[in-house]
Amino acid sequence: MDPTRATGRLVLAGTPIGNAGDATRRLLDLLETADVVAAEDTRRLHRLAAALEVSPRGKVLSYHEHNEAERTPELVAAVRGGATVALVTDAGMPSVSDPGYRLVRGCVEAGLPVTVVPGPSAVLAALAVSGLPSDRFSFEGFAPRRPGERQRVFAALAGDARTLIFFESPHRTAATLEAMAQAFGADRPAAVCRELTKTYEEVVRGPLGDLVAWAGAGEVRGEVCLVVQGSSGRPARSTAELVEEVAGLVRDGHRMKDAVREVAGREGVPSRELYDAVTLRRNGGDSDASRR
């Protein structure tokens, strides 16, 4: 390394979360010109580079959860010595549920430049396509694996008004959705975002109770993000109140199915259950009338 060079920089680079076509021109240039590329998985980096038809010219090093503590000083020293160090993870932005925080802190504390080449983010992609409020949100990472701890975390979040975003393993998605339904209520609107940007991308939206049934009906596969609407901050309305509101809309000229859909969507309750309650009331009213 040339000792006359000015201090280098750390560059946090976002990589595609599934579709290589989402790579930016700046990412391609960085991979070709960086003095050091620190990658969460060097094999995946080389596969991405091949897909992008670029070849890293600098030194490629592994940087993952098992070696970041000992490798961080080495990379900080490289930046101090004048190197451009690019940090990439398997997908998305470094340090967001991925290695990177230690290295960023090491460079910041050493007074070294840290910059970013922004790119795809599973968190923001899931939030955007969920159809849930996006003005205020909180990324919660992976839910705890142990049921007791998971329930404690969800109980603490039950009253949060922000939209909540979680990563989850496909093998634990069903159990996590069930725990969410218990803590947040089966009527809380949510979305399961699976394999975003990939060939089999799927977004399933609905009340948590419906999503529990969906997950239990078949095997969930691929990368999963769970997005849950925040608490409304007001007590849930009774089924009788919702049925009466539907009846009022019908009296005003709405079709019953449209009225049910409107009220159910606004209140975050399953349309089918509300429709059944409305139908039961109507049938009961007819029966009472016939006996008079």
pLDDT band with cut points at 50, 70 and 90 for residue 4: very low
Rg over CA atoms, the chain: 25
**pLDDT-derived band at 180, boundaries 50, 70, 90:** very high
Categorize the per-residue pLDDT at 283 as very low, low, confident or very high, splitting at 50, 70 and 90: confident
- Would you say residue 182 has pLDDT above 60? yes
Residue 218: how many other CB atoms lie within 10 Å = 8
Res. 165: pLDDT tops 70: yes
pLDDT above 70 (res 268): no
238 falls in which pLDDT band (50, 70, 90)? confident
pTM, whole model, 2 decimals? Answer: 0.75
CA distance 148 to 265: 31
CATH class of 123-228: alpha beta
User: Is 262 a residue whose pLDDT tops 70?
Assistant: yes
- Mean of per-residue pLDDT scores for the chain: 91
- Work out the average pLDDT over 209-235: 91
pLDDT > 90? residue 263: no
Return the CATH number of the domain spanning residue range 9-120.
3.40.1010.10
Q: How confident is the model at residue 2 (pLDDT cuts 50, 70, 90)?
A: very low
Q: Which of 75-79, 225-229, 242-246 has the lowest mean pLDDT?
A: 242-246
Q: How far apart are CA 16 and CA 22, in angstroms?
A: 6
108-137, pLDDT tens digit by residue?
Answer: 999 999 999 999 999 999 999 999 999 999
Q: What is the pLDDT of residues 66-86, one digit of tens each?
A: 999 999 999 999 999 999 999
Rounded Cα distance, 27 and 119, in Å: 8
pLDDT level of residue 3 (50, 70, 90 thresholds): very low
CA 75, CA 102: separation in Å to the nearest integer?
Answer: 11
Mean pLDDT of 222-250: 87
> Euclidean distance between the first and final Cα of the chain, in Å?
97
pLDDT confidence of residue 272: 83
Using alpha carbons, select from 211, 97, 228 the residue that is nearest to residue 158. Answer: 228
pLDDT digits (tens, 9 = 90+) for 5-51: 567 999 999 999 999 999 999 999 999 999 999 999 999 999 999 99
Residue 238 in contact with residue 256, Cβ under 8 Å? no
